[in-house]
Amino acid sequence: MTATGVPGTLRRTGAALAGGGSGTVYALLALVFAVVFAINPSFAQPPSLLAFAQQAAPLVVLAVGQYLVIVAGELDLSVGSLVGAQVVIAARLIDGQESATLPVLLLMVAFGAAVGLVNGLVTTVLKVPSIIATLGMMLVLYGAVRLWTGGAPTGALSEAFRTAGRGDAVELPLLGGVPWALLIAAAAGAAAVALMRAPQGRTLVAVGDNATAAAFSGARVWRVRTLAFVGSGVLATLAAILIGGFAGVTAQVGEGLEFSAITAVVLGGVVLGGGRGTVVAAIGGALAVEALFTLFNQLYLPSTIQPAVQGLIIIAAVAYASRERSRRSPRAPADAGGPEKSPREEV
Amino acid sequence: MRRSRALLAAGAALSLVLTACTTDAPTDGAPDEGAETGTGGDWFDAEEYEAQLAQRDIEPEGPEDEPWLQAIDPEYADTSEHALEGAEREDPTVCFSNASVSNPWRVTGWITMQQQVEVLQESGDIGEFRVSDAADDDNQQISDIQAFVDSGDCDAIIISPSTTATLTPAVETACESGAPVIVFDRGVNTDCMVSFIHPIGGYAYGADAAEFLVEELEPGSKVLALRILPGVDVLEHRWAAAQRVFGDSDVEVLGHEFTEGDGATIKDLVTQHLQRGEVDGIWMDAGDGAVAALEAFEDAGRPYPVISGEDELSFMRKWEEEDLTALAPVYSNFQWRTPVLAASMVLDGEEVPEEWVLPQEPVTEEDLDEYLERNAEMPSLHYAKFGGEDLPGYPEAWQDR
């Protein structure tokens, strides 16, 4: 490592953040899978791959939600706590009664949207930076749930509730059961792709890229960003339904998921600060993170290594993206209001 | 640009090295090699291990139907110096510094303790019950204890320490204040307190579970160990004892995984182990998420393993429903009643055991139905051996938590 390279790179990191394409992350995904297959050929069989898809589905959904917020130039740290809160609320309200499933599901969606709305309004109207607003929301939800439950969740989820995360939609010849979770995550991903191609999606990216310019061209920046937070809240609710369905209710459910989601999104080359990156790449990032953890497990590495690796991925992915960006166009457009704004950009 | 590429490569190499280091750390601490040589690692204390195993077979002294007042091999300490007389004995203030209520086990015990306190308050044995909760923060707990001492109001101080070494000086400070100090659950490195109350311990817990698996499984069977997290003494002792037992047996330990008690993590890890091959037995250092582990077998269409969980009801109900071959080792939750009773005894000048070792018996196939029936109305994250059935708030206090 040469000393002269460091200051230049550091300066550029602040000045210019941009992403590689989705090709990079899917290449990484293929590489990780190739290694996993080499270690354990039985993992290449359809039932194992479908089990992988089922288990990766919640993170994919969370990554899509986090993408909406990040591409609009913000960050949502509250999703992990929201997932935990939603599962605990669902268990307590359903308490094993099948008939309560649907009303509680609707209530959860409303609650998720409300949390997103509060996050969005606190960020846009009260002008609290989203990293603080959602950090606050994360702690509020964490504490409120513990206060409400006295520290330990009660109740139980119904069988119907658990179908989405645990059950199979169809039984296919050769393949075996195709989990609902896979179809739900695919639907969420497809909806997000459609949204990003629509004018609303382009506005979202434009707001993240340069809020001032977007405002001049007629976008209501505060409304777009608030809606991105609402989307993240609703998708976190969907993830909660999948996770609760997958493994039932435990006191620790949801912990640390916000960082897994952010890791997935930045690994997909989506730029923190907004305006760059595709939702397909974010989904690829989620799959790659899950695949990587599968690989660690296959190598018998302890699961306590995961936070360390996540941290390194976040740093390395952002550093890589900034390097790509500085090569392509040295003068990045100013990111409106983002924490990455450097004095150089204002000249 | 070449330079930054070199930088990137160096960074990648560095991260590989760093992650490699991270992987090594837990294995250094875990007594893997120890199990083979029989000497044990950092967390293995052969003398304490033997003592705990022997304590399992000792008939405890005390009232038969009140295990929270029983003691194994007690050596009584004279407490007459702490006896309060006359007006002073009326409504004495008892102070309790709690480490946290951050898991269902502690929540269950904390409710039991509050119910016991109400009984003692009605009878006038104790007056005010002052509580501070440190939320798993050592520094917070040290200042909580200091605040009790500074107030000068505490006629007795009960402490449930969050960690051993860090809280030792704080417990010593409490002792120096002159008020009798009672420590329970996790220990501290001092014997200044009047009584240290705890169930037999982690070695007995881990050995109960491992011995059961060894007995029920064919030689050559494969066992997966699921652990909450590294570095906590009560949990490390369970695993150290299990390694010892497994090391002397013919079963093969596939490995151990840290799960933080999260159901999704557990189910995911077990599913992956099942994709890789057979798993015949599951050993757990705590029962959180045992049901998720069993569901992984269901969803993979595989027969249930022989499993050791804990006396948490979700697991025990699953055990009964599916007729599993299982054992529920117990870290006696009823120990939360003992410290307040002991405080009242000390203030009367009655002698109490210096080290008050409470019985710790696993729930087995034979008494499963009995415990399920007793706890039929209780929520799933409740602990069967909570020992509060005779308290006035039963059962509502434990149901509405």
Contact by Cβ (8 Å): A58, A246? yes
Q: pTM score, two decimals?
A: 0.80
CATH number (domain holding residue B106): 3.40.50.2300
Longest dimension (CA), chain B: 86
Model pLDDT, residue B28? 35
Q: Are strands B352-353 and B76-77 parallel, antiparallel or unpaired?
A: antiparallel
- Average pLDDT over every residue of A322-327: 67
Of A40, A300, A323, the CB nearest to B255: A300
Q: Is residue B231 part of a domain?
A: yes
Q: What are phi and psi of B167, to 5 degrees?
A: -85, -10
CATH number (domain holding residue A103): 1.10.3470
Of B104, B107, B292, the CB nearest to A247: B292
* E-assigned strand segments in A85-185: 168-172, 176-179
SS3 B360: coil
Of the pLDDT bands very low, low, confident and very high (cuts 50, 70, 90), residue A328 is low
Model pLDDT, residue A320? 82
Interface of A with B in 235-294 (CB under 8 A): 243, 246-253, 255, 294
Q: Which of B280, B308, B327 is the last residue of a domain?
A: B327
pLDDT digits (tens, 9 = 90+) for A236-252: 999 999 999 998 888 78
Q: Is the model's pLDDT at A329 over the cut of 60? A: no
A6 touches chain B (CB under 8 A): yes
- Output the average pLDDT for chain A: 85
pLDDT digits (tens, 9 = 90+) for B236-280: 999 999 999 999 999 999 988 888 888 888 999 999 899 888 999
Contact by Cβ (8 Å): A175, A51? no
Report ipTM (2 d.p.).
Answer: 0.76
Q: Is residue A243 part of a domain?
A: yes
Return the H-helix or E-strand segment holding A344: helix A343-346
**Could you write out the DSSP letters of every residue in B202-253?**
HHHHHHHHHHHHHHHSPTT-EEEEEES-TT-HHHHHHHHHHHHHHHTSS-EE
Q: Residue B346 sits in which domain range?
A: 62-200+332-360
Alpha-carbon span B75 to A206, nearest angstrom: 76
Q: Is residue B384 part of a domain?
A: no
Q: Is residue A22 part of a domain?
A: no
Cβ within 8 Å, pair A248-B291: yes
pLDDT digits (tens, 9 = 90+) for A71-124: 999 999 999 999 999 999 999 999 888 999 999 999 999 999 999 999 999 999
Over its C-alpha atoms, chain B yields an Rg (Å, rounded) of 23
Cβ within 8 Å, pair B255-A40: no
- Average pLDDT over every residue of B185-197: 93
Of A243, A305, A327, the CB nearest to B22: A305
**More confident of the two residues B236 and A274:** B236
| DSSP letter, residue B361 | -
Residues of chain A found within 8 Å of residue B109, distances taken between Cβ atoms = none
- Co-location of B228 and B296 in the same domain: yes
Model pLDDT, residue A331? 46
Cβ within 8 Å, pair B7-A250: no
**B334: nearest Cα among B17, B108, B25, B20:** B108
Q: How close does chain A come to B350, measured CA to CA in Å? A: 35
pLDDT digits (tens, 9 = 90+) for B176-190: 999 999 999 988 999
Q: Is residue B392 part of a domain?
A: no
A62 touches chain B (CB under 8 A): no
Q: Is the model's pLDDT at A18 over the cut of 70? A: no
Q: How many domains are contained in chain A? A: 1
- Co-location of B189 and B75 in the same domain: yes
A176 touches chain B (CB under 8 A): no
Q: Is residue A306 part of a domain?
A: yes
Model pLDDT, residue B2? 44
Helix orientation angle between B233-247 and B46-55, rounded to the nearest 10 degrees: 90
pLDDT digits (tens, 9 = 90+) for B59-90: 999 999 999 999 999 999 899 999 988 888 88
Q: Is the model's pLDDT at B30 over the cut of 60? A: no
- Co-location of B312 and B351 in the same domain: no
Q: Is residue A24 part of a domain?
A: no
Cβ within 8 Å, pair A294-B272: yes
